[in-house]
Amino acid sequence: MRCLRQTRATRRQAAKHRLGRASRHAVNAPGDVEWVGLLNRIFAEARNSAIPVSNDDQLYLCEHLVSIKSYDPLSAQAYHFLMATEPALVNPEYAWLYCRADQEHDVDGPQVLALYALTFTHKEAAHAYYTEHNWNLDDVELMFLRRAAEKAPGRYPAVLGPTMRRAASSCF
């Protein structure tokens, strides 16, 4: 048991060291897939080790993820973590990429409905963004309805509006 505690402590210390180095040597390299991937893994290790990450560092990561339009599960965790810790800092593009990740990779999470609500609060802009990337916002909307049914049964997402509610209820 003592070895296990030492191993956890050693891993936490190593993760803290890597995060510190990444923060101190913060290279502003938006669009560099390799750098962004490395950053994403370092920050994921910090989240998993419960190492505090400043708001500026979280935004630094999310902005770099957006620069490569990243919506893999690890990137979704970064957007989700920001929503869970500092929702006022989440911009719509983070939500759009998170929702794309959920629709593609079934990532889910406690803040999923808030991220979908942010996406559909800016539906026209989200539609344009999705169209630009040849993604289908209708598929994301269906995933939103699925998540709403799972997390808030019997409550229709108000952000989708009464027209969509009537259309959905006529299907049943």
Burial of 25 (0-12, 13-18, 19+ CB in 10 A): exposed
Interval 89-140: pLDDT, tens: 999 999 999 999 999 999 999 999 999 999 999 999 999 999 999 999 999 9
Do 104 and 130 form a contact (C-beta atoms < 8 A)? no
Q: Do residues 33 and 2 touch, judged by C-beta distance below 8 A?
A: no
pLDDT: which is higher, 9 or 44: 44
The pLDDT assigned to 22 comes to 55
pLDDT for the residue 30: 86
The pLDDT of residue 2 is: 54
Q: Report how far residue 118's alpha carbon sits from residue 99's, in angstroms, rounded to the nearest whole number.
A: 10
Mean pLDDT of 32-41: 95
Please report the pLDDT score of residue 111 as a whole number. 98
Domain ranges of the chain: 1-68, 90-172
Write down the pLDDT at residue 117. Answer: 98
pLDDT tens for residues 51-100? 999 999 999 999 999 999 999 999 999 999 999 999 999 999 999 999 99
Q: Return the pLDDT at 162.
A: 83
Q: For tokens 């108000």, what's the residue?
A: 158
